[in-house]
Chain A
Amino acid sequence: MKKHYLLIFTTILIINFFLPRFMPGDPFLYLSVDDGNVSVAYSEKQIEEYKAYYGLDRPLYIQFLNYIKGLLKGDLGYSIYYNISVLELIFTRLPWTLFIVLTSLLISSIIGVFLGTVSAYSRNGFLDKFAYFSMTVFSEIPSFLLGIFLLFIFAARLGLFPLAGGMTAFGNFQTKLYYLIDIIYHGTLPVLTLSLVKIGEFYLLARSSMLTVLSQDYIQTAKGKGLKKKRILFYHALRNGMPPIVARIFMSLGGLFGGAILVENVFSYPGVGRLMREAFLVRDYVLIQGILLIIAIMVLFFSYLSDVFCKKMDPRIG
């Protein structure tokens, strides 16, 4: 299993290193400006010098070794556009993204699993049918489209929530509490968007997992013993239905990051997703590489956690 993660990580490193080097174009040509008034064109000699400065004149494998060496020291290079360290830049933005992603993961998994369990118990009842239909719909709508919808209804029309940003700009907060409230207030709509989409997914999974568990013999026994419905559902059944759900909760982190990239741009939220779009628009390769690497590491880490948890919960999984 460890080999598996190592393999994936190496692949990501290789993609990350070689993609920009194999693409057409030359960063020094991008740096040469010619907008009518100012004309900065690098001569052959200057380009050679810059290449030597950045170590781009050496053979690829030495460059690759240097890249790995830098990574081990925690050096992701300097952003071409912002002129500060990539790692620093990402870590100022990452908490915002982690906040909305993890909060929505928590909210959606709890509500989704609860609804799915109840729905499975009252199978084919009115509640089940209604929940099943609406959850199917929500799980299919792409998060950023839902986000635009919520933005126009709750922020623009009703004015309940702010239109953009992660906190009040230049806000003057008396205490830490007001600061926290402001952050939650700004984060509500992005979190709501991501949660609504994920609730459907967890609901459907929990429902199908619970349906198989509820048809087992030991549930019949528990019913026969005269146990309460609540105890049967949340103690006997849910425990055995959990492993696939927990695995999915951890695995869905990659998808949530993807959704967060788009949703952050809908709400102009100052997280990594917005940074990524800015980096794309100015073609800041170093920054894009850094963001991709960090996201990949986090997704790998969470999928590793999911493996560990599943083993703990169900020792039968090898």
Chain B
Amino acid sequence: MELGSAMKIRKFKGTVLSKMSIYGKISIFILLVILITGALYFLSGSDSHRIPTGSSLEPPSLKHFLGTDDLGIDILAQILYGAGISILIGVSSGLLAGLGGSILGVLAGYYGGKIDKILMGLCDIFMTLPHMPMILVLGMFFGSGIGNIILVISLLSWVRPAKIARSKVLLVKEERFIILARNYGAGFFHLLTKHFIPLIFPILMVSIIKIISHGIMAEAGIAFLGLGDPTVKSWGMMLNRGLNFSGIYFTPFWKWWVLSPLLCLISLILAISFISRGMEKIINEKL
């Protein structure tokens, strides 16, 4: 613990890029491309993801790089818009579940006793509940808006960060440097910011990234079933519309209409999971 927390975190960030395997580097590149193009589309304020700009079911051309769907809406624009939606849902549910879960975990580990017992009981319950059906049911009861979907996904995925944070805190709680700090009058908040957060941060990042990819998957699944927010055009919803179009199996339309959101979803999820695997490896080496 010679290094200050900020320095440690900075050093961690530095090692991530240099130690990442080649797959990890490619993944970071793919993720950046998706992020930047999605952000540029949002900034341009274009409406072409919901307003028809061509005739219906056009094959890819110079005007519409990925063709158009049955309503004549440009598919590339929908893909770019969907990227933003996926990342928004993934990142916010990851942050919400990760931060919320780890705060609960730190409290449980630090104070122990009843809080700990209740929290561990809750963790057991949430771990055993079948996730996908629960997400669908809760999503239906809360309503299908984006905010509610984020809430439901985080509600079902805070367990892992909570357990990680709790076990880490339990591990160091009785260490000499913590007791020493406490004897000098350090309160919970001081211990949290100076000792617990730097300890938990790297491993928490990995679990947040995992939740992000689960969140993206869950949202795609909900939208694919046609149970998502009908006003938000996500990749899952494009798949749903494409597959429900009669004759999609017997015409060449699927090559751009179904394949593009499908490949985008798969590459985004794979990229995120390779990054999390890479980071996990780096952390394990350090321990």
Contacts and interface: CB of A to CB of B under 8 A. Distances in A.
Interface in B222-278: 224-227, 239, 243, 249-250, 254, 258-259, 262, 265-266, 269-270, 273-274, 277
B128 A137 contact: no
A262 B128 contact: no
Contact of B266 (A145, A255, A295): A145
A23 B130 contact: no
A259 B141 contact: no
B269 to A, nearest CB: 6
B133 A142 contact: no
B266 A288 contact: no
B270 A262 contact: no
Nearest to A258: B132
A299 B265 contact: no
Given A7-B121, A8-B124, A258 B133 contact: yes
Nearest to B136: A280
A148 B133 contact: no
Interface in B112-137: 121, 124-125, 128-134, 136-137
Given A141-B269, A142-B269, A261-B136, A149 B225 contact: no
Given A142-B217, A148-B239, A156-B250, A257 B132 contact: yes
Contacts of B243: 148, 266
Given A142-B217, A148-B239, A277-B225, A291 B133 contact: yes
Contacts of B273: 136, 140
Interface string A41-70: 000000000000000000000000000000
B109 to A, nearest CB: 21
Contact of B130 (A266, A283, A299): A299
Nearest to A139: B273
A20 B217 CA distance: 26
A79 interface: no
B101 interface: no
B130 A262 contact: no
Interface string B139-164: 01100000000000000000000000
Contact of B224 (A144, A156, A292): A144
Contacts of B141: 19-20, 23
B221 interface: yes
Given A8-B124, A295-B133, A136 B239 contact: no
Interface in A121-167: 133, 136-137, 140-142, 144-145, 148-149, 152, 155-156, 163
Most A CB contacts (10 A, CB to CB) among B130, B134, B221, B227 go to B130
B254 A19 contact: no
A278 B221 CA distance: 15
Given A4-B124, A292-B137, A148 B132 contact: no
Given A137-B270, A255-B131, A258-B130, A152 B249 contact: yes
A261 B133 contact: yes
A156 B243 CA distance: 12
Nearest to A303: B128
A36 to B, nearest CB: 22
B206 interface: no
Interface in B190-243: 213, 217, 220-221, 224-227, 239, 243
A168 B221 CA distance: 27
Contacts of B217: 142
Contact of B125 (A8, A148, A163): A8
Given A255-B131, A266-B243, A280-B140, 9 more contacts: A136-B277, A149-B262, A163-B249, A254-B129, A257-B130, A258-B132, A261-B225, A280-B227, A288-B137
Interface of B: 23, 121, 124-125, 128-134, 136-138, 140-141, 213, 217, 220-221, 224-227, 239, 243, 249-250, 254, 258-259, 262, 265-266, 269-270, 273-274, 277
